[in-house]
Amino acid sequence: MKFRPATVLVLLASLVVAVPASAHAHLESSIPKSNAQLAEAPATLTLRFSEAAQLTLLTLTTAGHAMPVTLNPDAKAGAELVVPLPALKPGSYQVQWRVIAADDGHVTHGTFSFTVGGT
């Protein structure tokens, strides 16, 4: 079987392109879910990422005011991060998060909202 030089180059180039790129830690799910309407306030916030990550920022905001959220050093690294929340009153809440991926060091961030008490 004979290969043309151009064919060999195309095959080699496709192998180089096929090498997987480093993934980033993307938020796969949360509890409460984005846009959830909750009858009762959650005691914790759970963030599940596509890979292990280090939580560097978590802000909980309601009516334009940021609420204190204590980041437990033991619970702020991994693919699933569970953070205790302060007592929440009825209202709309926005969660802002930022993580650094453990594998590649890339920073990802995002926001989502949920409502307590159907307001």
| pLDDT tens digit sequence for 62-110 | 988 888 777 766 667 889 998 889 899 999 999 999 999 988 889 999 9
For residue 73, what is the DSSP state?
G
Q: Reduced to 3 states, what is the DSSP secondary structure of residue 70?
A: coil
Please state the domain extents for the chain: 23-116
User: What integer pLDDT is reported at residue 24 of this predicted model?
Assistant: 85
For position 38, what pLDDT does the model report?
A: 97
User: Quick one: pLDDT at residue 103?
Assistant: 85
Q: Which fold has domain 23-116?
A: Immunoglobulin-like (2.60.40)
DSSP state of 118: T
SS3 track for 52-113: EEEEEEEEEEECCEEECCCCCHHHCEEEEEEEECCCCCCEEEEEEEEEEECCCCCEEEEEEE
5-60 tens-digit pLDDT = 554 444 444 444 443 445 689 999 999 999 999 999 999 999 999 999 999 889 99
Q: Give me the pLDDT at residue 66, please.
A: 86
